[in-house]
Each structure stands twice: as structure tokens, then as C-alpha cells.
């Protein structure tokens, strides 16, 4: 049995370009509407040089979105990335140099910065968690725990944020309700129990054909044992303390992929990884991020 599920998305250049183009089109419609009234104060013929600065250390993420915003709002612009996607920048470092129509650059500015500040924040936080457990040995040979995201994303920007997790070295969980099964406490209660709900999954052909994986959430060791007896191959251990997690790993004995959720932060993640679980899912990667501070400054008019 594989220790982790396969990545649920392949982030090709074409996929990222199309995703960014659609996200940016919505963002510009929201921001620009029928036209940028303030940019109209600048002569249409004026060109400008500009640079985007990072005001703090970060993992740069969002290049396809920034470029899509420039193509759509400032056609004819040229740019040069001084810090590439996935690389770390330092405070006050220039990450992007721009040349183009002044009006267009002003119109594109906020959309470019919004995507960079959000996606770089997600990538940076993810990288911090990945680094925190990098030296923690796992219980399956050389394989260590993976940092995994959740569905706790900004509406309409899920794929962008999940890409940012990937960019920061994390792994993606399911994309939505349609591509994998995660049986939670309310599903178990409605179906009549752990054994019953797992049996129902096996009996439902439409689920078996569509789901990339089936995972069940348990809250007690008794539920874990029942799930394993019922054939579970992937189990989410919900809000268990460290001694209970260690016992869960012992009971499991390598039979199922074990994922931890709840109570995970930078102060606890290393000890959680040391229990020997396979995956640590963290909603805060995408829902509680503090935007990275970027600014754009014209350098030559």
C-alpha cells in the first residue's frame, strides 16, 4: 500500500495559464468594471518603468496570475522576474521589473499584488510547516509525514490556493466533494455507524468509480479499530492528543494511511509528526494566512 495518495492535480504550464486567466478575468471585472477612472488622469501615450518590492521574506508564488493580470490590463507590457516562482525573497528585494503603458500598469497593479500577496503567503506558511518536520523520521522506513491542505479555502480561489500549497512543498488533499470520499462524523451518524458507512461505500458503484480515495474520520481508538476491521485504507484521526496518536499508530501497525487533523500549529506539528502518522492536514495553510506585503513603485516616467 502506498503511504500517500497520488497528487490530485498535475500543475502543467497550460493548466496554470488557463486557471490564472480565468481567476484574473473575474478579479479585473470586480475591480475595474467599465473602466479605471483614476488611471484616465494619466496620458494614454505615457509609458513607465516600475518594480514590485517584497517588504518581507517570503516564498514567491503567483507568477502565472501576475502575468495574466498584466496581459489583460496592460497589454504590451514587458517584465523580468528577479525572483522565480517557488524561490525565497528577502525584505525590500525587487521581485519583478516592469515596462509598459502607464495607464495599464496602474490598472493592473492591485490585481497583480492581490494574487502575489495571497498565494505567496500560502506558499510561505506551507514551507514553514514542511521545514518544521523535515528532520522528523517516520515509521515507514525513510518516508516522513506529509503536510496536507484542506477545503478551507477562499471561495472561487481553491485551485489557486492549492497550487500555492504545492509550491510551498505541501501536498493537496481532495479538490472538492466530487473527486474523493471523506466520511466525517455526520456521515457516520446518518449511515448508522463506522462499519455500515464503509460497507455502503463499497456497495455504491458510482462512488467507487469516481473517488480517487476513500478516507474515514474517527474520534476514538475504538472507532479506529472498527474502521480497520471494516477494511479502511485511509483514516483521519480527529483532535487526538499525542499519547492517543502514538497508540493509534501502534494499533494501525501499517495497515492504513493515518492522517491527523485538529490542534495542529507550529508549536505542535513536530511532535505530531514524530508519532509516526503519515499525513498532517492543516486548514490554516489556506484560511488563516496573513498576506505578504508587496508594493509597486514607478521608477521612470
Provide the pLDDT for residue 138: 57
CB-CB contact of 144 with 185 (8 Å): no
Provide the pLDDT for residue 257: 96
Give the burial string for 158-172 (b: 16+ CB within 10 Å, else e). bbbbbbbbbbbbbbb
Specify binding-site residues. 110, 150-152, 174, 184, 217, 238, 261-263, 282-284
Provide the pLDDT for residue 204: 87
Query: Distance (Å, rounded) from C-alpha 193 to C-alpha 7?
Result: 30
- Structural domain spans, the chain: 13-129+289-300, 131-287
Within the chain, which residues score under 50 in pLDDT? Answer: 1-6, 139-142
Provide the pLDDT for residue 294: 98
CATH superfamily assigned to domain 131-287: Aldolase class I (3.20.20.70)
Provide the pLDDT for residue 30: 97
Provide the pLDDT for residue 168: 97
Q: Which CATH class is domain 13-129+289-300?
A: alpha beta
Provide the pLDDT for residue 10: 85
CA dihedral sign, ordered 248, 250, 255, 259: positive
Provide the pLDDT for residue 222: 97
Provide the pLDDT for residue 205: 73
Specify binding-site residues for substrate. 110, 150-152, 174, 184, 217, 238, 261-263, 282-284
Provide the pLDDT for residue 143: 54
- One DSSP character per residue, 165-178 reads HHHTT-B---SSTT
Provide the pLDDT for residue 243: 97
Query: Distance (Å, rounded) from C-alpha 100 to C-alpha 78?
Result: 6
Catalytic residue numbers, as ranges: 110, 152, 184, 217, 238
Amino acid at each position: 500500500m502506498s503511504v500517500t495518495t497520488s497528487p490530485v492535480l498535475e500543475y502543467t504550464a497550460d493548466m496554470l495559464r488557463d486557471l490564472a486567466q480565468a481567476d484574473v478575468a473575474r478579479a479585473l471585472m470586480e475591480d475595474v468594471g467599465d473602466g479605471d477612472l483614476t488611471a484616465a488622469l494619466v496620458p494614454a501615450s505615457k509609458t513607465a518603468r516600475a518594480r514590485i518590492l517584497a517588504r518581507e521574506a517570503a516564498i514567491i508564488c503567483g507568477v502565472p496570475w501576475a502575468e495574466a493580470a498584466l496581459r489583460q490590463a496592460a497589454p504590451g507590457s514587458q517584465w523580468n522576474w528577479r525572483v522565480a516562482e517557488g524561490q525565497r525573497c528577502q525584505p525590500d528585494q525587487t521581485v519583478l521589473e516592469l515596462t509598459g503603458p502607464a495607464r495599464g500598469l496602474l490598472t493592473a497593479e492591485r490585481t497583480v499584488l492581490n494574487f502575489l500577496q495571497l498565494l505567496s503567503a500560502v506558499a510561505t506558511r506551507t514551507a514553514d510547516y514542511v521545514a518544521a518536520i523535515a528532520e522528523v523520521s517516520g515509521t515507514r522506513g525513510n518516508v516522513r509525514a506529509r503536510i496536507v491542505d484542506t477545503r478551507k479555502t477562499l471561495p472561487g480561489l481553491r485551485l489557486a490556493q492549492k497550487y500555492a500549497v504545492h509550491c510551498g512543498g505541501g501536498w493537496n488533499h481532495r479538490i472538492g466533494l466530487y473527486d474523493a470520499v471523506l466520511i466525517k462524523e455526520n456521515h457516520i451518524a446518518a449511515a448508522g455507524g463506522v462499519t455500515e458507512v464503509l460497507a455502503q461505500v463499497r456497495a455504491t458503484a458510482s462512488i467507487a468509480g469516481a473517488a480517487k480515495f476513500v478516507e474515514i474520520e474517527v474520534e476514538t481508538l475504538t472507532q479506529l479499530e472498527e474502521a480497520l476491521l471494516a477494511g479502511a485504507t485511509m483514516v483521519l484521526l480527529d483532535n487526538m492528543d499525542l499519547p492517543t496518536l502514538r497508540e493509534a499508530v501502534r494499533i494501525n501497525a501499517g495497515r492504513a494511511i493515518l492522517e491527523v487533523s485538529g490542534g495542529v500549529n507550529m508549536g505542535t506539528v513536530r511532535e505530531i509528526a514524530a508519532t509516526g502518522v503519515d499525513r498532517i492536514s492543516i486548514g490554516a495553510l489556506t484560511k488563516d494566512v496573513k498576506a505578504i506585503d508587496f508594493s509597486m513603485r514607478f521608477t521612470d516616467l
